[in-house]
Structure 1
C-alpha cells in the first residue's frame, strides 16, 4: 500500500510516538491543559482528498521532553540552554536598572514583539526587536560579538506606534510594522540610527502585522491583524540604493494587491478545514484605495455595493516568513508545475491556522490547525502569532495564549513543543535565529522584570549541534 506523507506521520505518532506523548503528560509545566476529543471531528488526515505541497519537517521535530531551565519559568528540551539578554528598564550591556529610562544610557524597551537577526561582517550579529506600545514604540537592537557576548544596545527606530511584527529584507534592513487601523511600515538599519529610518506608505495603510520579501519576484508579502483582514503583496517596479547603501527594492513605487482563493472572493472564508487543507489556486486583485485605511475602505465598499471588498478573508493575520529552497534542492511538483522554489508561511490567530503559499504556482493550503492535536494530550494552540523559519528548515510558531509555547510545526502532522514559558499573563514574541542556526532569540512581552512590573524580557536559546543546519 502506498503511504501518503500524512499517513506516515500518523503512523509514526500513534505508534512509537504515543509513548512519548504519555511521558510528556508526566513532565509538564503548570498551565498545560489536555485536549479531549470533540464530537464530529474531521476524518483522519490520511483520508482527506486532494494534493499537498511536498513539505518536510526540520530537525527540531525530533526534540525530546521539556524540563525546567531554572530561568524565569522557561521550559526547554534537554541539552538546550537559555539566558536572559535584556529586560525592560535595564541597560542590556551593564544590567543596571534605570527607572527613568535614560540616565544610565540606553534601556531596553517596553513590550518587545517581532524581531529578526542580521549577521555582521566580524562574525557577530544584531537582534532587532519591536516595541508594541501606543505612543513611544520603535525598534531596539542588541549587538553580539562572534563569541556570543553582548557588546552594545541601541535604538534604530523611535516615536512610532504599536510596532508589532515586521520582517527582514535580503538587503539587510528591518521592516517594522504598526498594528493600527492607519498603520504604516517603517524601514530601519539594524546597524544604523533612528535618523536613517524611512516610512513606506506604498506598502499600505492597515493593521500591519508582518512582512516578508521574495527578491526574485520583487515582492513584499504582508499580513493584516484584523478579523476581516486580507493577505497582501506589494510588487515593486524596480530597484534603488537602500538606506544602508546596498541595492534594494524600490518600496515607494509598485502595486498593492490582495489574495483571493478560488471560490472565496469578496471576503469569502473557508470554514471547512478538510477543504482548506487541500491545495487551491489563488489569484491577486488590486487593492481598493491603497492610500486609505483598509478597514474603512472595506466598510464603505460593503455599504455601497452590498458585498465584501476584493480578497479572501483571513481571520487575524499574524506571523509571516518565506522558506526559499536553493537550486538543486527544489522539490518537484506534479502536472508540469514549476519546482517548489519558495513557500510563504503565515499564521492566523482567529482560527489558529498556518497557511503555506506556493509563490510560483499560485496555490495555497492550510498546513497546521488544532485538529492535528486531537488525541495527543496537548492543549490546543490559542492565538498563534509570530512565525519564523530556521536555517535548518524548521517552521516555528509562537503562541499568545495562556500556555505560551513555541511550536515546531510538522506540516500536516503533529507539532512538537520547543519551549514553554510558565510565568503567565504575557505573550511569547519575536522568535528569530542566528544565521548559523545555533541560537534562537525570543521575548516574553510582559515578562518578569527586576522593577516588580511586567513590561518585557528578551531571551537567547542555544541549540545543540544536532539541531543546527548540516548536522545530518
Structure 2
C-alpha cells in the first residue's frame, strides 16, 4: 500500500532513532520511545484509507452554443417565414425551376430533403440536397465566394426516395434511400451522377441519415421505422474515395446495431426519466446483413419468439456528430475517456433527441417535449433532420403543423430559430457553411408552381449575424 509523505517521514524518524539507541548500547530491553517498559509492541501507523471513488456522471457535460441566446421572431419578408431580429432570409431555389439561368435545362428537384455544405477551393461552397421523390437523386447548388449562385446540377439520378444522408470527412455526400431495402450512395458534390457509387455493405433498410467518425472508422446510421435500430458500420480500413481523397472503405466491414444496457433485443426505453440519465451501450453484429433488416427482424421474432438484436428507436431521423479538439474536451466524471465525439440523433415517433458518447459507449436523452413545459412553446410535432453548427449548436427540424427549426439546449427548453407558417410540409436539409454564417434549409412541400397548386418545395438561405456564430 502506498504511504503518505507524513507516514514515510515518521517511519524514517523511528528507524533512525532505533539505530541510534542500538549504537549506544540500547537493545530490546531498553525503554521504548513511547515511555513504556520496552515489552510493548511498537505503535503502527494508521492504516491508509483508499481514495473515495469518483462519482459517475448522470449526464454528459454538454454545453449550448451561441444560438441559445437568440431573441423573439419577426417576419423575414420572405414567404411569411419568421426569423430572429438581425438575421436575414432569401429564397435560393424552387422545385421545377432553374436555380440559375445558365443551368442548361437543369430544374431544382421536387421534395428537397436532407442536405449538407461542402467548401470549395475558390472560397465558395456547394449545398447538396436529396430528392425524397420517385425517382430520387441529389441536386447541388454551387455558390461563389460572394455567396451568389454560380451553378446548379445533379450529382445522383434514378434512385428511390432519397431522404437524408451525411457528409464524409473526405468531402463526399452519403445519400440514403428511405425504402425497406434502401441503399447508401456516395456522391461527389463537384461530380456527376455517373460517378456515384452504391454500398450495400452499409445495410439494406429504411435509411434516413448517416454520420462518419474517422477515429473509430465508423459510419453511424438511423432507420426510419417504428421498431428501428441505430446502426454502426465499422470499416476494415482506408481506400481511395470517388473524389480521389483518402476515405474509409465502405465496401468492407461489419454492420452492427446498438444495444442499451437493460434494453436489449428490441426493448424500448419507455421510462423517460430513466432515459434522461446516462446508460452504457454495446454493439452487436446484425444477422444476415445482406438482407432487408425489417424482414430479418420479423423472421427472428417468428422463429424464436424473441426480439432481434438492438434497442428499439422509434422512427430514427437526422443524425450528426459533434467533435471537440484535444484541449477542449470535457471530462466525463467516472469514465475513462474525455468527451471527443458525440452522435446526436432524433426520433420522430417519441420526439426525442439522443446523445451518444462514442468513446465511452454512453447514451442519454438530451431533449424531449416534456422539457418545453412551462416555456410557452408547443411541443415538437415529428422531429426530423438534425445538424450541428460549427459553433456547437444542435439544430433540429420539425415536420407537421408548427414547422420550426429549434436550437437544442441540453436538458433545458429549446429555442426557436425560425418558423414557416401554414404547416402541411416538412422542414428539411438544415446545413451550415463552414464559417457558420449561412444556414440552408427547405420547406419540402412549399408552393412551387405559378398557381401555387404544385407543392414540391422551396430551398432557402438564412444569414446568421457574427454575434451568433
CA distance in 1, matches of 2:371, 2:423: 25
CA distance in 2, matches of 1:105, 1:74: 29
Alignment of 1:150-189 (within 5 A): 150-189=149-188
CA distance in 1, matches of 2:275, 2:335: 23
CA distance in 2, matches of 1:81, 1:255: 45
Task: Name which of structure 1's ranges 327-336 and 190-199 shifts more when overlaid on structure 2.
Answer: 327-336
Whether the 8 Å CA contact 1:423–1:447 is kept in 2: the answer is no
Q: What's the CA shift string for 1:378-405, capped at 9, x where partnerless?
A: 1000110000000000000000121000
Gaps of 5+ in 2: 1-55
Deviation at 1:337, TM superposition (A): 1.7
Whether the 8 Å CA contact 1:267–1:308 is kept in 2: the answer is yes
Alignment of 1:250-329 (within 5 A): 250-329=249-328
CA distance in 2, matches of 1:337, 1:458: 43
Alpha carbons of 1:359 and 1:50: their partners in 2 closer, same or farther (altered >3 Å)?
A: closer
Task: Name which of structure 1's ranges 419-428 and 352-361 shifts more when overlaid on structure 2.
Answer: 419-428
Q: Does 1 or 2 have the higher relative contact order (CA < 8 Å, sep 6+)?
A: 1
CA distance in 1, matches of 2:430, 2:373: 26
CA distance in 2, matches of 1:425, 1:267: 32
TM-score, reference length from structure 1: 0.86
Q: What's the CA shift string for 1:319-375, capped at 9, x where partnerless?
A: 000000011100111124211000000000010000000000000000000000111
Whether the 8 Å CA contact 2:116–2:430 is kept in 1: the answer is yes
Whether the 8 Å CA contact 2:57–2:333 is kept in 1: the answer is no
CA distance in 2, matches of 1:430, 1:258: 25
Q: Tell me which of 73, 91, 96 is aligned to 1:66.
A: 73
CA distance in 2, matches of 1:362, 1:454: 43
Deviation at 1:425, TM superposition (A): 1.5
> Which residue does 1:464 correspond to in 2?
465
CA distance in 2, matches of 1:368, 1:50: 18
Deviation at 1:94, TM superposition (A): 2.5
> Which residue does 2:456 correspond to in 1?
455
For the residue of structure 2 that corresponds to 1:372, the secondary structure is: helix
> Which residue does 1:77 correspond to in 2?
84
> Which residue does 1:124 correspond to in 2?
124
Whether the 8 Å CA contact 1:209–1:223 is kept in 2: the answer is yes
CA distance in 2, matches of 1:338, 1:368: 23
CA distance in 1, matches of 2:113, 2:90: 18
CA distance in 1, matches of 2:62, 2:376: 25
> Which residue does 1:438 correspond to in 2?
437
CA distance in 1, matches of 2:153, 2:300: 44
CA distance in 1, matches of 2:163, 2:417: 23
- Correspondence 1:89 to 2:96: yes
> Which residue does 2:33 correspond to in 1?
none
Deviation at 1:458, TM superposition (A): 0.3
> Which residue does 1:4 correspond to in 2?
none
CA distance in 1, matches of 2:447, 2:85: 24
For the residue of structure 2 that corresponds to 1:83, the secondary structure is: strand
Whether the 8 Å CA contact 2:57–2:334 is kept in 1: the answer is no
For the residue of structure 1 that corresponds to 2:160, the secondary structure is: coil
CA distance in 1, matches of 2:267, 2:342: 23
For the residue of structure 2 that corresponds to 1:53, the secondary structure is: coil
CA distance in 2, matches of 1:321, 1:165: 11
Whether the 8 Å CA contact 2:407–2:415 is kept in 1: the answer is yes
For the residue of structure 2 that corresponds to 1:449, the secondary structure is: coil
Report the RMSD for the aligned CA atoms in angstroms. Answer: 1.2
CA distance in 2, matches of 1:165, 1:443: 12
Deviation at 1:50, TM superposition (A): 6.5
> Which residue does 1:389 correspond to in 2?
388
Q: What's the CA shift string for 1:273-325, capped at 9, x where partnerless?
A: 10000100000000010110111110010000001000000000000000000
TM-score, reference length from structure 2: 0.87
Gaps of 5+ in 1: 1-48, 96-101
> Which residue does 1:13 correspond to in 2?
none
Whether the 8 Å CA contact 1:169–1:175 is kept in 2: the answer is yes
CA distance in 2, matches of 1:373, 1:466: 26
Count how many residue pairs are aligned between Structure 1 and Structure 2: 412
Whether the 8 Å CA contact 1:398–1:407 is kept in 2: the answer is yes
Whether the 8 Å CA contact 2:401–2:422 is kept in 1: the answer is no
Alignment of 1:91-110 (within 5 A): 91-94=98-101, 105-110=105-110
Which consecutive aligned stretches of 4+ in structure 1 deviate over 4 angstroms post-superposition? none
CA distance in 1, matches of 2:410, 2:437: 23
Whether the 8 Å CA contact 2:335–2:360 is kept in 1: the answer is no
- Correspondence 1:351 to 2:350: yes
> Which residue does 1:56 correspond to in 2?
63
